[in-house]
Amino acid sequence: MAEMTDDHKAALAQGRRAAAVKAYLASLQVTRKRGRQPSPERVEELKQQAATEPDPLKRLGLVQERLELEKQLAAQRSIMKLSKPASWSLPRRMVSARASPTRRGVR
């Protein structure tokens, strides 16, 4: 295999620094919602309530609430997959990326 040039290695390092900065900025934008957080137990509870509810209008409301909770849970899982592992190593990665803002003219 061909060896990497110094320019290629520098470009790869620059890309890693940019990715660290991007992950850090994304983690700052994740907001925590107050109030009751959706849980899988609540989804199951709503399924059972909807199955036993005789009133079709109330059943529709329960099904809609369950679908919304499932959507919120899926969004939380995807955020946690993206932000949690990255945020664990962010301080260490940010130290290596500290020269990036000055390179772009940000002070």
pLDDT at 66: 94
pLDDT at residue 68 is higher than 70:
yes
pLDDT at 47: 94
* Average confidence (pLDDT) over 29-50: 82
Q: Supply 97's token pair.
A: 């990326």
CB 92 within 8 A of CB 43: no
pLDDT at 27: 73
* Average confidence (pLDDT) over 35-56: 90
pLDDT at residue 59 is higher than 60:
yes
Higher pLDDT, 67 or 92: 67
Q: How confident is the model at residue 3 (pLDDT cuts 50, 70, 90)?
A: confident
